[in-house]
Structure 1
Amino acid sequence: MSFTQRQEALVNSSWEAFNQNLPFYSVLFYTFILEKTPAAKNMFSFLKDSNEVIQGNPSANAHAKMVFGMVRGAAIQLQVKGEVVLEDNVLGVVHTQKGVADRHFMVVKEALLKTMKEVVGDKRSEEFSVAWETAYDELAYAIKKTMI
């Protein structure tokens, strides 16, 4: 897979922008997920007992930072190695235990892309979208390979 330095740079810089306003973008991300799939709240311990995503929730913020950071890491791996390789199968086990299916990966992908569109605003380009989409798809593929 050919993932360019420019694509990696687009992901890195927008990840930094995401991180600068993490509480806001975290709420936006989970709101997009729940709008599409309300039952998904049961898959997240920090959403289970609430009817809304609460801004400033440290667990939601940490999880969003981890998800977006892993996609950023996937972009780096794609540029350096040409593939995404997970160090172990922990993510596969967790996703299996939570009952994550292909459709959930698609919902998260859509929410991630919508969130990043908000992060960069009018600076969004086709190249930007393709970079984030490719990195996410390759990460999701790597996770799915480890699901038992």
Structure 2
Amino acid sequence: MMQELQLNNQAVAEEILALQLPAYRVEAEIIGSDAIPALRDTVESIMSCGETFYGWREDGELAGAIAYKIEDGALDIHRLIVHPNHFRKGIGRRLLQYVLQEHTQFKKFIVATGSKNVPAIQLYLSEGFVEIGGFEPVPGLPITNLEKVIA
């Protein structure tokens, strides 16, 4: 079940953090770096991040979430997280498709992910994103930028 998550609710922010930490630990293993800023988040930093969150629940448990900000007329996806217990169920794809379908007023969607995170890159490519370059925020941590532009 999809729902908007209210960040002003501390219990919700605690749920997001409990989802996010194991998900990003798996990504850290995949990309060979724990320099992912989300691994240092706290309940307070999530509550004050200014992102809009949608979550997917299974049996009442927060199994996945997507978060974004609107920046320079584009919808910038900041997080797409699925708890490792719920990998390979299509939750990440459902979350991504929901945001793309619910925000058709935007013509540009952008996201960045670890260049070695092949599953994430494949997901974005399969939903019409294209690679547009990248950067290395810290040595040894290449990041790929992707965008989807609607004509």
TM-score, with normalisation over the residues of structure 2? Answer: 0.37
Judging by fraction of residues, say which structure has more helix.
1
Structure with the bigger percentage of strand: 2
Q: Using CA pairs under 8 Å that are at least 6 residues apart, name the structure with larger relative contact order, 1 or 2.
A: 1
